Amino acid sequence: MLVAKPVGRDAATKKYDILSALATFGLSKDKHKQRQILRLMALITTRYNWQCDELSMGQAEIARLWSVDTRTVKREMARLRSLGWLVQKRQGARGRVSVYGLDLARVMADTQPTWDNIGPDFVQRMGAEPQQSDTNVIPFRNESAVEFSNDVWGRACKVLHVDDPSTFASWIALLKFGGDEAGQIVLVAPSRFHATYVTSHLQQRILYALRAQDPSISAVQIIAQ
């Protein structure tokens, strides 16, 4: 839900939800992470254009807002870009400042581990309520118990697990095989948010792993349960 642009009738609620997720996540971390997230929240609340997904602000202006020097601004903005939370949409040049956007899907995905601290109503509103999975992929937390079937999806999962165990455990292990029609594999995610994140960030990686097992596969679609 919240990966959509927070505009329209429920815009205010969606904005508060994003800021709540950031604040709660930051408070669970050390003082350095807390300061980083507070700085990002200051940018969002003072200068971010939700409707256009644009943050346009010069380094000197950011430095004044954060009470730091411009060297600190350069370092911190680079860290936020490396996290994937800030996305540079236009490079700054003579006479104009850089323009950034927010990857809301990435922000919400990274803050999800602390949603429970806000409350079950928030978790449910985000569409990430805990669900039992009957897939043949056992969660990574007990690595010795991970098993995979010998079908195309199971073999692809084994490759994806070896390549990136953490990402596999958080996102791919929760996908269920939903069928194969005319070379298109359908995978079912436990929530709409989960499906949107996987589609945006992992779909191509999953497709490559599937095609390595069966070259006739032409596409993969991730849908919500």
Q: Which two tokens stand for residue 61?
A: 């202006």
Q: Using an 8 Å Cβ cutoff, are 187 and 174 in contact?
A: no
> pLDDT tens across 169-221, in order?
888 988 999 988 888 999 999 888 888 888 888 899 999 999 999 999 999 99
CATH for the 11-125 domain, from 1.10.10.10, 1.10.3720.10, 3.40.50.2300, 3.90.1200.10: 1.10.10.10
CATH topology of domain 143-224: GMP Synthetase; Chain A, domain 3 (3.30.300)
Query: How far, in Å, CA of 129 to CA of 120, rounded?
Result: 8
* Per-domain boundaries in the chain: 11-125, 143-224
> Sheet harboring 219-224: ordered strands across?
176-181, 184-189, 219-224
> pLDDT tens across 125-136, in order?
776 544 444 444
